[in-house]
Chain A
């Protein structure tokens, strides 16, 4: 058989190595595997490809997807089409970052350790919190992680989640909660936002109150009042936030939240059909020893020079085993590094400008749609970059019809909320232009006859 490009041993190598080992064949190396569990045929897989054939095959598969470069897309609902600058790719393709493992040996890994320390700083700055971990899997799983923190911090047996929190997040919390011994209670929204009095009632005896800012409908919640309602009941207020909103919206640390977390994708990752991305999780100092996952700390080396290490490891699974604060080991470091590079690229000015662009462009979209008879679902609420709009007929059909005209007009949210079958969730990032928004309005008029 031809030598495989990813394998280096030649026939001569193999012979010499077998001699050194003292066995006569490769087969003999597997003698400890009982005959009854040996696999006695060839794997039923398609034959090996060359790199050229592989490339052609995957290019063909990719071409059967309609991505945001092939149609004008207003999809959001948790994953957003923000611009990812070239510097992100350049840094992430450095082999020293790309092909390293978790930095167990700090002397070999100062690059990524310092980068994570800088990432933790950026997340704390965005959220107004004291401590950030090195990342979690995504915005859904970090929310489940936060429930575990709250459960152990309060010893209480339920968590409250607002219904206006992204359904993906709520579903994952509900999947994890039984294992934590937690019941999940949902608080409905009132006209697109959550009433703090409803939260106050539900928060009694709760470990935590989770809300999203801006919420799933894009509306700005009365976040400080929701946090206060949770705090009054002794429940931990947990804010699920959009990192790109935090140049214009207040940091959760400034309005009394215990934990701030969210989906990092918008800041520096491509949509990539849902992953891999990073979830960020930051908390007040009180919870530093209950944090899940890796944390990098600053210290000194034997010569007194500054350096970075994984720290507070007695929280973690490889030391504490069944008493660990989480089972996480592999996290999303490379994507979080992408986040750090992106936030560095933006700087504080750029972050504010992206936020302002989202506000302005989405307000323009609302206006254009309203002029064509499509009323926003919650007209009196302030929204950030996404808004819900009634389209007068089944929104899924509207999506299909609009896509035939080259525009993906948004997410048909009726799948997640009863009574909203005629509602589209429209996301407008800084990448959209007023002309593109005009086209959305035109196409919606054509297909939904507004």
Chain B
């Protein structure tokens, strides 16, 4: 359970988050949308205790995140950073095993769990390969495998499908949707609201959408809300039109630059 209560964050005098409150429990799906620089990544970093909250409180599993040990934090939430490239000459399997630092277990147990997590993320075929030599899409699969290897009840995802081709994007969001269905809580930053449908599938009404603007929460809505297009248009300052595609609603920029 992640609880942000009226959190404000300033870095060197610049306000990055203002009065943000948010709750994420296992089984929840919250998507954070907003323009670049709105504070979405700052919100996740604050939730992880990487940035101190100037005001308000950040709690993970009921405890103040700044007073928790690393292992206690890691047992609550796992994080997929934005296009994080690994340059170390280390195999995908070793990387996923290293993600299990929070467990006090034998090497064999780490390896077994890491293999299972990589298999789940569709990364089995490159488990033995060096991460630095994998393509962007393969690296992202390995990174997702590491996320699952941590076995935390909450997943904090920062633009998980960035730099992936369309087929990879869809399959990654389907996987995120599967994890959610199994009871994990998902907080997902994305610029592409249309991809969320692949995670939500028949549960669109359960996907909460939070619009973030200038460090504040601008609105809260649902993926199936009738006025979502209007809200997103205001959020991004760009008129988004709705279209129906094989029974699904998709949003596309309706304005063409002159």
A and B associate in one complex: no
Chain A residues near B (Cβ < 8 Å): none
Chain B residues near A (Cβ < 8 Å): none
